[in-house]
């Protein structure tokens, strides 16, 4: 009879890791969730303040003004937090599916190591987002760099970014291979 260790990932013991992976992904996605919450609120939040003479001044709330600096910053942080979350989720799904296959996984992975693996997946998703934003790769399958900061309002482009972010975490060699190819391309351009 096999004994299960709560803190070790194995074929029969994936539930704590799935829960941890989901909670960590939600944690990374909190700015995006907050953005969605603010966008879902009714537009009735003008603040009234009194100036020094006692006159009422209406100050528009930054959450209603999509052109304000604070709202633009929240939008950008939201985009990256969603990408980080999907990258971390992709890394966790990759690890857990490998653990469930028989004979393919002999390592003893703890929950702490799962979180570090998810963090690496999130970093890869972030790097891939920067690659898209810098127009280093492009095409119809990739998000358009011109609309990157407004991607949150374009469902098809946001879906592309999230799928690529998931793949960046899921396939651990994907982003390093892209970086190697970009380095080779830079070297070839310098030699010319």
**CB contact at 8 A, 45 and 65:** no
Whole-angstrom Cα distance, residue 94 to residue 120? 12
pLDDT tens, position by position, 71-100: 788 888 999 999 999 999 999 999 888 877
Residue scoring higher pLDDT (49 or 96): 96
pLDDT tens, position by position, 104-130: 556 677 888 889 999 999 999 999 999
Count CA within 13 A, CB hemisphere, residue 44.
1
pLDDT tens, position by position, 14-29: 778 888 899 999 999 9
Count CA within 13 A, CB hemisphere, residue 1.
1
Q: Is the pLDDT of residue 158 over 50?
A: yes
* Token reading at 133: 């934003």
């Amino acid at each position: 009879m096999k004994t299960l260790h709560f803190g070790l990932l194995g074929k029969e013991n994936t539930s704590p890791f799935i829960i941890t992976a989901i909670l960590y992904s939600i944690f990374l996605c909190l700015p995006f969730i907050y953005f969605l919450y603010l966008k879902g609120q009714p537009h009735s939040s003008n603040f009234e303040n009194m100036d020094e003479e006692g006159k009422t001044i209406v100050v528009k709330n930054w959450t209603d003004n999509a052109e304000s600096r604070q709202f633009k910053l929240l939008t950008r942080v939201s985009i990256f937090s969603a990408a980080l979350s999907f990258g971390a989720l992709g890394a966790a799904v990759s690890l857990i599916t490998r653990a469930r296959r028989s004979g393919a996984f002999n390592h003893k992975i703890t929950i702490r190591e799962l979180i570090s693996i998810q963090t690496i997946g999130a970093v890869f998703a972030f790097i891939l987002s920067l690659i898209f934003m810098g127009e280093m790769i492009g095409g119809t399958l990739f998000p358009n760099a011109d609309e990157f900061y407004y991607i949150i309002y374009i469902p098809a482009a946001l879906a592309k970014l999230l799928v690529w972010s998931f793949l960046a975490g899921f396939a651990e060699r994907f982003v390093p291979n892209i970086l190697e190819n970009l380095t080779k391309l830079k070297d070839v351009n310098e030699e010319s």
